[in-house]
Chains A and B, each alone.
Chain A
Amino acid sequence: MSNNIVENLRKEIESFKVATQTEKVGHVIEVFDGIAKVSGLSDIKSSEMVTFPNGVTGVALNLEEDTVGVIILGEFSKIKEGDEVKATGRILEIPVSDSILGRVVSALGESIDGKGVFKSEKTYPVERVASGVITRQGVDQPVSTGIKVIDAIIPIGRGQRELIIGDRQTGKTAIAIDAILNQKGQNMICVYVSIGQKDSKLRKIEARLEEGGAMAYTVIVSAGASEPAPMSYIAPYTGVSIAEYFMDQGKDVLIIYDDLSKHAVAYREISLLLRRPPGREAYPGDVFYLHSRLLERACRRNEKYGGGSITALPIIETQAGDISAYIPTNVISITDGQIFLETDLFYKGIRPAVNVGFSVSRVGSSAQIKAMKKVAGTLKLDLAQFRELEAFAQFGSDLDEATQNQLERGKRAIEVLKQAQYSPIKVENQVVIMYALTKGYMDNVAIEKIKAFENGLIEYSVRNAKTFYKEVQTSKMWTDKGEAELKKAIEDFKSGFTQ
């Protein structure tokens, strides 16, 4: 065994060739808070990688007349004045390979899960220009999140950018994790980018994904709260580069940035330390470009360019529901819609706490499967009308029958859209539930029995409406035969359902 190791090492050493080259070097003038001012490095490019003596990498961000402002990606306490800094001539890049799946990596693509270094054949630049117009295609394939309210009312398509926005503790990450869990068997690679999160939270997420068997198709990129700001700044770009590696193979990728508010804060810190002029809320002038160039890399490629897509779910944390702050408005305007979560709804027990009125998906409806479109078409309108009528209902019960019915339907719709965490529902089952709701089969079921009715109905129809299920699974729409079968199944189940 040990002979083998020695033999392999001997072979590798023999195959190693090094040519003496002339390198550009500079010297550290000052170091502070993850930033170094370096003299020399006369021909350096913007975003070029540099190396410090202890192997730490840096990226040149500010190119001035005599000095270069470098962000240090790693431990900066051992870097001292006068240290030699080498230019590498390369833009910051990360190692990528298929074996990165199931791993937790740092913002520099190095494994941090204790499972050792993963083998990489290729490197990808962290900063890259987004796919061009010619290579793109419209969004027309759905991403099934397994969350009823999203799949029915705010559908997301492959290649879309859908913002998840809300205050702290409203279930933003929960939606993202549920979406990852539901991708099992859906031919989707997931990348979860954790920016400035507590390590305990990340560990919990990793354990949950492992438990749900989701780590097999997931990569986690982490820049923890204890790491310096430059790591948080670079992490989302690392994540999207990993996503691009898989997209270039024609695969569909779902990427989650949790969260971009902390990313903007990290960038603000770096910019202020680099003495760039502050603007609104002390963010630098290019904070819009920071996010737009990141989210523009999400796309759906056409067949000629290999197919594949990157669907992005950025998360933004608001303060006291203020969506008109600087970063939320920026990201809202960049993305193709938003899922707005509200604290009030959360505490009313409506979970996921999605405010259907404020949430929108601008391109997702063309990606929604026909069957779902048909059953959920009127749902958003029903809910809007319900909210309007709800205010009237508080004045008394002297309402006409039509209004009463509308109110009852609305209450049931809200109940149906509630869903426990980590319990994604297959799209076929969602169609059955929505069908029963919109066709009025649930109107006389007591509200507190709705959940039991739903669960029972799914179980019953899986067994008794096989044609319907098959049709929805294969052609994404039912035929009259399938519909008749489902109707019968619902009626049969309802007659046996004890209130």
Chain B
Amino acid sequence: MAKISAKNIAEAIYIASEGKHGNDLSIILKNGAKMISNKRMIGHSENILKALQDIIDKKNNTIRANITSAKPLTNEQRKNLEHQIKEKYKAERVESVFFEKSELLGGIRIEVGDEVTDSTYKNKLSKLENFLIRNN
């Protein structure tokens, strides 16, 4: 039998708990936790939770974005960005977390899943560096 992955367990828990409420849901979750323990996958619980989160996000058409900028963004800028992300990924909801990093010098870096849109000065400078090395 193939090795069970964190994704498989998350999918199983999701299917079992779909449409359940209250006591039923808590029994399913308890059984799920027991199964994780029986399969000796307690060490992978973080990955299982992440996989479960991904499944739920996909179902709810939610996007999670990490937005990093050099300076703090105004509320209006944040809303504007979230709106653009929503449009680009055709999502219903955007859950965004904002970070500040002064070493980016300027611009914004948006991470959605494994996609990164990087318009920071730091990134542009490193591209310029490569360009100058290649051409001289």
Interface residue ranges, A against B (CB under 8 Å): 9, 12-13, 16, 18, 20-26, 40-42, 65-66, 86, 117
Contact = CB atoms under 8 A, between A and B. Distances in A.
A160 B13 CA distance: 61
B7 interface: yes
B64 to A, nearest CB: 14
B1 interface: no
B71 interface: no
A23 B115 contact: yes
A40 B134 CA distance: 29
B93 to A, nearest CB: 20
Nearest to B128: A16
26 contacts: A12-B136, A13-B128, A13-B132, A16-B128, A16-B131, A16-B132, A18-B127, A18-B128, A20-B118, A20-B119, A22-B115, A22-B116, A22-B117, A23-B115, A23-B117, A24-B114, A24-B115, A25-B111, A25-B114, A26-B114, A40-B113, A42-B114, A65-B5, A66-B5, A66-B7, A86-B116
Nearest to A84: B116
A118 to B, nearest CB: 11
Contacts, number: 45
A25 B136 contact: no
B15 interface: no
A117 B115 contact: no
B132 A25 contact: no
A25 B116 CA distance: 7
B133 interface: yes
B34 interface: no
Most chain-A CB neighbours within 10 Å: which of B114, B115, B131?
A: B114
Given A16-B128, A66-B7, A117 B136 contact: yes
Contact of A117 (B5, B131, B133): B133
A94 B115 CA distance: 26
Contacts of B114: 24-26, 40-42
Nearest to B120: A20
Closest 5 CB pairs of A and B: A40-B114, A20-B119, A22-B117, A25-B116, A18-B127
Contacts of A65: 5, 7
B79 interface: no
A176 to B, nearest CB: 33
Contacts of B23: none
Interface in B98-120: 111, 113-119
B38 interface: no
